[in-house]
Amino acid sequence: MKFSDAVKMTGEKKKILKIVTIFLATGLTLFLIFLFFANISRSSQPLSRGTLDLKNWKGEQGEIIPLNGEWNFYWNRLVSYDDITKKAAVPDVTVNAPEVWNSYHIENQKLSGFGCGTYRLKVTGAVKGERLALWVPTFSTAYRLYIDGSLAAVNGNVSAQKSQGVAQYKPQMVEFTPESSEFNIIIQVSNYTYARGGMWYTLYLGTSGQIYDLEKNITKRDFFLLGGFLLMGFVFLSIWMLRKTETGNLIFAVLCFFAICRTLIYGTYFINSIFPASGIEGIVRIDYLLLTGFPGMLSLLMTNLFRNEVRAKAARLFVAYGAVSALIVLCTPIFFFTQLTYFVEAADFLIMVYLVERIFVAVLHDRADASTTLASLIFVLAGVTYDILFQNNAIQGGYFEMAPVGFFIMLTLEAFVLARRFVAERQRNEEMLEALRLSTQREQNAQLKFLKSQIRPHFVHNCLNTIISVSRDDMDQARDLLIEFSNYLRGCFDFKNLDDVIPIENELELVRSYMILEQARFGDRLRVEYDIDETSLMVPPLILQPLVENAVIHGIRPKPEGGKILIYVKCRGTITRLGVMDDGCGFPKERIGRILSGTETSRGVGIDNINQRLKKLFGSSLQIHNLESGGVDVFMEIQMNGDGENDTGSLGG
């Protein structure tokens, strides 16, 4: 076996070990959590044949008792305490509760979801005068709860007639004091809204202090989850608003919004306090919109994070499923779409399994953050699985659903993943900017070399010949020309970066030195005038000198009689115009565009370079105008400060 093959096998083993470790750690954690919550509702006080015996219960020192077990049930009858005690009303059947009554059979007939019924539990062995309480969750979909003959709680309007029934979801705490060691819990229920009816969640019995603490703990949990979801959603929505190209942050914020809505409509049903008018219609529709929309949004996030493993086509399919389901939920009665609960739960479960399998593949491919994401999805899948079993009464454990907790863990882990990727992306951008800066610097250095190379050997040769010639007759003038030549060379080379800015006076000194040298060579054929306004303008180096050189070479030199050059700096409000005007022969208008774009370089030394720097530093560009009297005007306009408008009027001189 080759060494490389051995290394490869070792890497594969590490991946497998990593994955197995993730599954075992996550699975063990979830098992312990669910075992804990399942044991909460495992009571040492079992309900048998509609009776609960409290003789061994220790009150405050004892446990909260989940009222899971056998209840007496009266179908299509709203039975009262008097009916039971005086008329000896006989129950139709003893049923296991909590469980929807659609699963009950009376005389081999399965019960309908619509109708009314009464649950009754006889409690014995209570301590007379001890303050007790019940935690009553939602029923499907209205109830009246009595302790013996006293009405203790109402939710909606219970009626034997569909037209008078009013549905409502509102969990509540019910306090009472038994007048003897025995009492009856009688719950009248009616449902004409939902596809399934009856007692579908566990009631809890304890002392007032115990039930108050239970309610407080559920409220604390909901507040904690809402705060976490709000904070994460706000942060990532803000990040998306600043960087809208990163859609993963927006998807994450939408998932946080889904989780917020989910938390509002379960537990203590905060939605009733925030939006009292929402009613059961709003709650149920929101619930199903979240159930069908969450998998699609989650798949979009997974596609955004792991494009190679979670295909966009699959995500679009899941989103389409959510959209079609949303139309059904919004456009049909509650009774209709709640019949699809099992289908929706199965679809959600299968989509979650698919995403877990895809991210598992991403872990095998050693994708960044795949292990963290896999763990987060396992938590969600476990929470969803638990709630499906919990809502269908396959298990009866805990005081609340686990999906919101799974969502919180998942979103927390994914927030870490997105934050890590944000930082990594920022580092990559900084590296790219640094590379771009270096590239730009190299380009500028090349441009600098190009501009400095414009000091052609012919110009140097001509200057030296001129100075030698002058020195024969006038040593003082020759000395002055050497000083100007030295100033000119220093001005051309005494800077390191084309993006530097220098005072306009420095650039004009370079121009004057150049013109003095050229005038010494051309004599009376070259006449120079200056029209300079006083200004503190800062300009890039070699921004004006190449224009003067162009005017001499291409404007004046070809004319036997020579000509005049005007160099000007004129201020008009906040606009300063710098230009060079000559009375040469100019050139055809059709060539101006080619010269400014750099596609024609036969006339102009560094014109394209000057243009690029003007656009980069000032957002302006060179302008070339042929003069009616002959010659050409080449100028630039630079904004000083303030909001003054450009002055495009002609300049005198």
Q: What is the pLDDT of residue 136?
A: 94
pLDDT of 606: 67
Is 70 exceeded by the pLDDT of residue 177?
A: yes
Beta strand ranges found along 464-602 (DSSP E): 502-503, 526-532, 538-539, 563-572, 575-582
User: Do residue 122 and residue 145 come from a single domain?
Assistant: yes
- pLDDT, residue 398, reads 63
Strand partners of residue 150: 147
Q: Decide: 632 and 581 in contact? Cβ < 8 Å.
A: yes
Q: Is residue 114 located within the same domain as residue 170? A: yes
- Residue 328 sits in the same domain as residue 402: yes
Per-residue confidence (pLDDT) for residue 339, from 0 to 100: 92
The 10s digit of each residue's pLDDT in 371-389 is 888 888 888 888 888 877 7
- pLDDT for residue 134 is more than 90: yes
Check residues 591 and 370 and name the one with the higher pLDDT.
370
Question: Please, are residues 596 and 609 in contact by the beta-carbon 8 Å criterion?
Answer: no
The long-range contacts involving 465-470, CB below 8 angstroms and separated by at least 24 positions, are: 466/517, 466/520, 466/521, 467/520, 470/520
* 33 and 69, same domain (yes or no): no
pLDDT value of position 646: 36
Which H/E stretch holds residue 415?
A: helix 403-453
232 in a structural domain: no
Whether 521 is covered by a domain: the verdict is: yes
Highest mean pLDDT among 116-130, 415-429, 435-449: 116-130
Q: Do 518 and 408 share a structural domain?
A: no
CATH of the domain at 589: 3.30.565.10
Write the DSSP assignment of 215-283 as a string of letters. Answer: HHHHHHHHHHHHHHHHHHHHHHHHHHHH-TT-HHHHHHHHHHHHHHHHHHTSTT-THHHH-GGGHHHHH
Q: Residue 98, preceding bond cis, omega within 30 degrees?
A: yes
Integer Cα distance of 106 and 114 in angstroms: 15
pLDDT given at position 41: 46
Is residue 445 domain-resident?
no
As beta bridge partners, residue 123 has: 52, 183
Read off the pLDDT of residues 56-68 as tens digits, 9 standing for 90 and up.
Answer: 888 778 788 999 8
Residue 51's domain is classified under what CATH number?
Answer: 2.60.120.260
pLDDT at 9 over 50: no
Q: Based on the domain organization, do 193 and 271 belong to the same domain?
A: no
Q: What is the pLDDT of residues 150-170, one digit of tens each?
A: 999 999 999 999 999 999 998
pLDDT tens digit string along 239-295?
889 888 888 889 999 999 999 998 898 888 888 888 887 889 899 999 999 999 999
Q: Does 156 lie in the same domain as 181?
A: yes
Give phi and psi for 527, each to the nearest 5: -115, 140
The reply to whether 619 and 522 lie within a common domain is: yes
Mean confidence (pLDDT) of the chain:
83
Q: What is the pLDDT of residue 22?
A: 63
- Give the whole-angstrom CA distance, residue 261 versus residue 283: 10
Is residue 99 a part of any domain in this protein? yes
Instruction: Write down which residue in 402, 421, 440 finishes a domain.
Output: 421
Confidence of residue 336 (pLDDT cuts 50, 70, 90): very high
pLDDT at 649: 35
Same domain, 400 and 277: yes
In a domain, 371, yes or no: yes
Choose the final residue of a domain: 197, 212, 227. Answer: 212
Number of domains in the chain: 3
Are 204 and 399 spatial neighbours (Cβ–Cβ below 8 Å)? yes
* Parent domain of 494: 454-639
Indicate whether 318 and 266 sit together in one domain: yes
Same domain (yes/no): 358, 474: no
User: Does any domain span residue 255?
Assistant: yes
Instruction: With a cut of 70, say whether residue 450 has pLDDT above it.
Output: no
In a shared domain, residues 205 and 102: yes
Reported as a pLDDT band with limits 50, 70 and 90, residue 569 is: very high
